[in-house]
Amino acid sequence: MDSDDSIVLIKEKIRALVRHAAQSRACVHTRQSEFVLTGIEDQYQTGQILGNWMSLILITGDAIKITLKLHFSHQDIKKIVYPIYGAESPAMISDQQSMDFVKELSNLTAGYLEQIFEETGISLGISLPLGTRGFYEIFADYTPSSSPILKFSDLWCIKHSDIKISGSVMIEISDVNAVTNILSYEEGAETEEDDEEGEFDFL
C-alpha cells in the first residue's frame, strides 16, 4: 500500500470513528436509540451556520487534533431532555439546561473517541466543552491541506423524527505514521458496560 492509499484509508477511518462515536453517545445520552446519523455534505458546506447554537470541544495529542462542533436549536433539545430532567413539558426546560445537555453530549463523544485512540496506542486529551452562538461558525477555517499538516473535515447530522443535531468536524494530523494504528480499530466494538458508563444523571 503506497502512502497516498494509506492517507485515504486513515481519513475515511477517522471520519467513520467520529461519526460512530457521535451517534452511539447521542443514543445513550438522549435515551433514544432511534437516532440515526447521515452525511449532509451534499446539502451544506463547512463554515456554514448549521444551528442557532453550538457546543465545541477539542480532542488533541502530539500527532492529531480533532475539533468537534455540535450545532442545534434549544427548541429541539428541550423536546429530548424534558423527560430526562423530570419536567412535564419542553417549556419547563431552560436554555441553560439545554446547553448543558449538548455540552455533556460533546464531552461524552470526545471521551469515547479518546478511549478508542488510547486502545490503539494513541494518547489524547480533551478540553472542556464550550457553548456559544452558532453564528461564530462562519469564522472557522476548514481549508483542507496535505502538507505539512494533513487537514480535512466532515459534516453530518444526527436525527430522530423532527429533532436534529448537526456536526462539523475538523481533523488535523501532524504525524500520519503515528496514527496508522487506528486502521486496526473496528467501530461498533463497545460493550454494554461502555453504554452504561456513558449515561448522564440529571439532578
**What is the count of structural domains for the chain?**
1
Look up the CATH number of the domain holding residue 159. 3.40.1550.10
Spatial CA neighbour of 112 closest among 185, 38, 184: 185
pLDDT digits (tens, 9 = 90+) for 34-87: 899 999 989 999 999 999 999 999 999 999 999 999 999 999 999 999 999 999
171 falls within a domain: yes
User: Can you give the three-state secondary structure of 11-37, one letter per residue?
Assistant: HHHHHHHHHHHHHHHHHHHHCCCCCEE
Whether residue 93 contacts residue 79, with contact meaning beta carbons closer than 8 Å, is answered with no
Q: Which domain holds residue 149?
A: 3-185
Q: Burial of 77 by CB count in 10 Å (0-12 exposed, 13-18 middle, 19+ buried)? A: buried
Give pTM, 2 decimals. Answer: 0.90
192 falls within a domain: no
193 falls within a domain: no
Spatial distance between the Cα atoms of 92 and 82, rounded to a whole number of angstroms: 7
Whether the pLDDT of residue 199 is over 90: the answer is no
Spatial CA neighbour of 78 closest among 59, 62, 61, 97: 97
